[in-house]
Amino acid sequence: MLRPRVLHAPGPRNEGPAVSRECCGPDDAAPDPVDADAVAEHEEVPPWWRDRSLALPVASGLLWATGLILQWIGLEIPALVVFALGLAAGAWTFVPGTLKRLFTATGRGRLGVGLLMTIAAIGAVALGHIGEAAALAFLFSVAEALEDRAMDRAQQGLRALLSLIPDTARISRLTGEETIPAADVRELDVLVVGAGERVATDGVVTSGRSWVDTSAITGESIPIEVAPGDKILAGSVNGTGTLSIEASADGRDNSLTKIVHLVEQAHANKGERARMADRIARPLVPLVLIAAVLIAAFGFVVGDPSTWIERALVVLVAASPCALAIAVPVTVISAIGSASKLGVVIKSGAAFEELGTIRRVAFDKTGTLTRNEPRVVATHISNDHTEAEVLDLAAALEATSTHPLAQAISAATPTRLEAVEVQELPGHGLSGTVEGRRVRVGSPRWITPHGLTTQAAELADQGMSIIVVEVDDQIGGIIGIRDELRPEATEAIAALHDQGISTVMLTGDNARTAEAIAAQAGIDEIHAEQLPEHKAERIRASTAQVPTVMIGDGINDAPALASATVGVAMGVSGSAAAVESADVAFTGTDLRLIPDALAHAKKGRGIMTANVVLALAIIVVLFPLALFGVLGLAAVVLVHEVAEVVVILNGVRTARSKRRIYPSDARDGSTPSSTAPVKASDY
């Protein structure tokens, strides 16, 4: 079985636990770490049709199907040969690893469904049922290969995180400016960051003023004003001014590399969680082995070893997890396929199992609960001006700016006045002349909104960013801009509460904005001004109490997504790091997918549990009947085949799913909108 590649951020770190995608417990040692340069050269996970790790499972399935055809037309010897080849192809993906762990691992790490499948296959071969053994090997090898593929794809998100660090940085020396590799930046170096450049490491502004886009780190949609003394994070994008920044962290050990390590560590921890089949197999394996040995030994005691050895082998087949091997994969595959039609891409069976247990949903704000499109929400004017005039004058100055607030103002008015002599004061705002009038547009810290201070405070309390417009040295008005709540968010939150699921918001935005959005949406709990590591800590604390989903779309959400019981990324607008760190991705942005997906997973988990109970019941019933010779091998195999058919029919019921009709759908007479089709190669 393939072992996933574990990527480490450069610089000092605490080693996390070993990652395991094996079926039977953690590995003895983690794979060798890879540095940042190796990350950049890391080969991408290929599409499934070119993935070599799927070659043996696919070959095993094709050979098994060919053997069934040959057997059906009466060619027994060729069928036997093809079955044997199929068995060898499938078994090669898990038997060597299972045997290695059996002799090298300790405690329960030796046990698992892989060992039980190996024993069942050996027992079936010993009794001449090679076709049955080939079927078991095929089913199990496919399930394991898909799990390994999901983990390998998760590692790709780390490259997206590290890509935010620029290759080089300009350092101010006594002899002048010098360009060096970003990794060579040391604490107390003074960085010179020009307009539009990324900051190479964490630091404190020593000179200059500007607006800085920190959305990749904090998730805050609106750039923040920075001045001497303000802290700034690695990966932030500078606006129009030039900044001098004293580094407070080395280039290899900053907030971005910390995010990489958090994601890596969370994936390692998640890799140790046993799946349902493993939890069942661990106590079952030793019981079956002990029973088989005792039965064979009893034959020697009573002087009839051949009869009791054969019964021991029949018991092994009776206790083989044929239906159990199918119970979970069939249900999961059907449910995942059905979910994709709803616009929900579930990347692994383990994620689907966990999704059905969720009791709390944590949301990022920007781009998840909100549109990530700041808009003009309110305008207050002085007595001598109109709203249209204030917006037109502000838009004239903002026409050439790429600042999100400028774009919001421009979008709020169709009129396009021409401004001349426009000057930008980094970190403050703009000034210029529009139709002969002197106009200034900027923050309340630059232009005091005399006469409108009460209104400005009220807008700020509602979570808005304030722009003050001054005309001919007099206050013309104030403009309130906010990233608005998605229209379906309130319905989605209400639907979650109806299911008994609590909600929490984690955001890098300020407390005022967070409280305003949470009040609109009906969210239970709020945590504002959270850095990525803070979000991850809160998610870990939450998952320790109840199964928790984290939903986000930005690079800053990646550690929290990876730390949650299940991480969900908003796939259309989400960053590559968020999508790859998550266990589930949405192909659309309709938040009502969340309660629908959780309800679908809960239903699927119920069907899966019923299948597992049936599979175990078959083993419990067949075991004594095989032990006392009531049923021979043929009867045992027949019962297993019937059970498999029942399990399959029950499992495919999860393929039936549909979107819930919400009040807003009923009002406008529409049905839930379909989402874009999902390509199989995407995940």
The yes-or-no answer on residue 364 being catalytic is yes
How far does CA 652 lie from the centroid of its chain? 26
**pLDDT value of residue 109:** 56
| Least confident interval from 240-249, 325-334, 480-489 | 325-334
**pLDDT value of residue 41:** 40
CA dihedral 510, 512, 516, 517 (to 10 degrees): 0
The better pLDDT of the pair 515, 20 is held by 515
Q: Averaging pLDDT over each range in 36-40, 102-106, 220-224, 356-360, which range is the top one?
A: 356-360
CA 335, 46, 270: angle at the middle one, nearest 5? 55
Segment 220-229 shows an average pLDDT of 79
**pLDDT value of residue 113:** 63
Q: Look at the pTM and tell me if it is higher than 0.75.
A: no
Rounded to whole angstroms, the Cα distance separating 449 from 476 reads 9
Tokens of 392: 């037109």
The tens digit of pLDDT for each residue in 541-559 reads 999 999 999 988 766 777 8
* 544: Cβ contacts below 8 Å, ≥ 6 apart: none
Q: Are 482 and 466 in contact (CB under 8 A)?
A: no
Tokens of 35: 């540095």
Rounded to whole angstroms, the Cα distance separating 27 from 109 reads 8
**pLDDT value of residue 204:** 93
The tens digit of pLDDT for each residue in 574-613 reads 555 566 667 787 766 778 888 888 888 888 888 888 888 8
**pLDDT value of residue 500:** 92
Q: Is residue 64 pLDDT above 90, yes or no?
A: no
CA 605, 606, 612: angle at the middle one, nearest 5? 85
Rounded to whole angstroms, the Cα distance separating 389 from 476 reads 9
**Can you say whether residue 229 is alpha, beta or left, with left for phi > 0 and alpha for psi between -120 and 50 degrees?**
left
**pLDDT value of residue 374:** 85
Name the catalytic one among 364, 509, 583, 590: 364
Q: Are 112 and 285 in contact (CB under 8 A)?
A: yes
Tokens of 501: 């699921």
* 652: Cβ contacts below 8 Å, ≥ 6 apart: 330, 334
Q: How far apart are the first and last CA of the chain?
A: 20
Q: Is residue 220 pLDDT above 70, yes or no?
A: no
Q: Work out the mean pLDDT of the chain and round it to a whole number.
A: 76
Tokens of 363: 């949301």
**pLDDT value of residue 478:** 92
Share of the chain above pLDDT 70, in %: 73
**pLDDT value of residue 274:** 45
Q: Is residue 31 pLDDT above 50, yes or no?
A: no
The better pLDDT of the pair 430, 15 is held by 430
CB crowding 491-524: b at 16 or more within 10 Å, else e? bbbbbbbeeebbbbbbbbbbeebbbbbbebbebe
The better pLDDT of the pair 295, 15 is held by 295
The tens digit of pLDDT for each residue in 75-93 reads 888 888 999 999 899 888 8
Q: Are 303 and 137 in contact (CB under 8 A)?
A: no
**pLDDT value of residue 554:** 65
Q: Is residue 190 pLDDT above 90, yes or no?
A: yes
SS3 category, 397: helix
Rounded to whole angstroms, the Cα distance separating 68 from 83 reads 8
Q: Is 331 exposed, middle or buried (0-12, 13-18, 19+ CB in 10 A)?
A: buried
Segment 643-650 shows an average pLDDT of 75
Give the residue carrying structure tokens 């290759």.
167
How far does CA 584 lie from the centroid of its chain? 5
**pLDDT value of residue 512:** 80
The better pLDDT of the pair 517, 161 is held by 517
Tokens of 510: 């300020």
